[in-house]
């Protein structure tokens, strides 16, 4: 289990370092997704399977989809198709693919090794997290919901344009 932790941590650091040195945002996004998946494996080895699942679903899923959406939206144009073909050269996605393959190997190893028993003795089950979340931390949940509502309203307001200026662009 500790070996899996160190390997996943190394993958996370390596992919993050590669992320901040890429020139193209799309390549950086690939490495960032690999980094988040590696941190998810780290969470699993730390005995937090619920957080590991949320990391994949929300961080690597929802938030990264937003990033990809915006990056692709800003790339619109007549040369976008050519640029996209140049962006997806095999030399660009082999790096993330190798790092993700390491994580996949770890995942398979963990599935084979745990055999339903979980990760060691220090696993904090989702039931405990939920009981704590809706027990002593209930006011925090309410505040988080208000924050999300504020984010929703703010994003909608920033993205809204009056109908008259919509044809200008």
- Provide the binding-site residues for other proteins, judged by CB under 8 A: 1-2, 5-6, 9, 12-13, 16-17, 19-20, 25, 28-29, 32, 35-36, 39, 42-43, 45-48, 50-51, 54-55, 58-59, 62-63, 66-67, 70-71, 73-74, 119-122, 124, 128-129, 131-133, 137, 140, 144, 147-148, 150-152, 154-155, 158-159, 169
* Continuous segment of H or E residues that includes residue 61: none
Shortest Å, Cβ 66 to other proteins: 6
Return the number of the residue (108 or 128) whose C-beta is nearest other proteins.
128
* Continuous segment of H or E residues that includes residue 160: none
Return the number of the residue (13 or 90) whose C-beta is nearest other proteins.
13
* Continuous segment of H or E residues that includes residue 144: helix 138-159
DSSP state of 166: G
Q: Return the residue matching tokens 């998810």.
A: 40
Spatial CB neighbours of 128, under 8 Å, sequence gap ≥ 6? none
Q: How far apart are CA 102 and CA 7, in angstroms?
A: 8
Return the number of the residue (78 or 90) whose C-beta is nearest other proteins.
78
Spatial CB neighbours of 71, under 8 Å, sequence gap ≥ 6? 25, 26, 29
Return the number of the residue (33 or 100) whose C-beta is nearest other proteins.
33
CA-wise closest residue to 56 among 38, 70, 75: 38
Shortest Å, Cβ 72 to other proteins: 11
Shortest Å, Cβ 97 to other proteins: 20
Shortest Å, Cβ 94 to other proteins: 21
Return the number of the residue (63 or 81) whose C-beta is nearest other proteins.
63
């Amino acid at each position: 289990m500790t070996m899996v932790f160190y390997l996943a941590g190394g993958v996370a650091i390596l992919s993050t370092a590669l992320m901040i040195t890429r020139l193209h945002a799309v390549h950086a996004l690939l490495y960032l997704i690999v980094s988040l998946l590696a941190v998810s494996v780290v969470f699993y080895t730390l005995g937090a399977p619920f957080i590991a699942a949320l990391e994949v679903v929300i961080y690597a899923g929802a938030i990264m989809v937003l990033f990809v959406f915006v990056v692709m939206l800003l790339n619109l144009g007549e040369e976008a198709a050519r640029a996209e073909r140049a962006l997806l050269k095999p030399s660009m996605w082999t790096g993330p693919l190798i790092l993700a393959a390491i994580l996949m190997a770890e995942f398979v190893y963990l599935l084979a090794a745990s055999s339903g028993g979980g990760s060691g003795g220090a696993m904090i089950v989702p039931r405990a997290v939920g009981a704590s979340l809706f027990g002593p931390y209930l006011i925090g949940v309410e505040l988080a919901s208000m924050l999300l509502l504020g984010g929703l309203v703010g994003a909608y307001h920033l993205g809204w344009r009056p109908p008259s200026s919509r044809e200008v662009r």
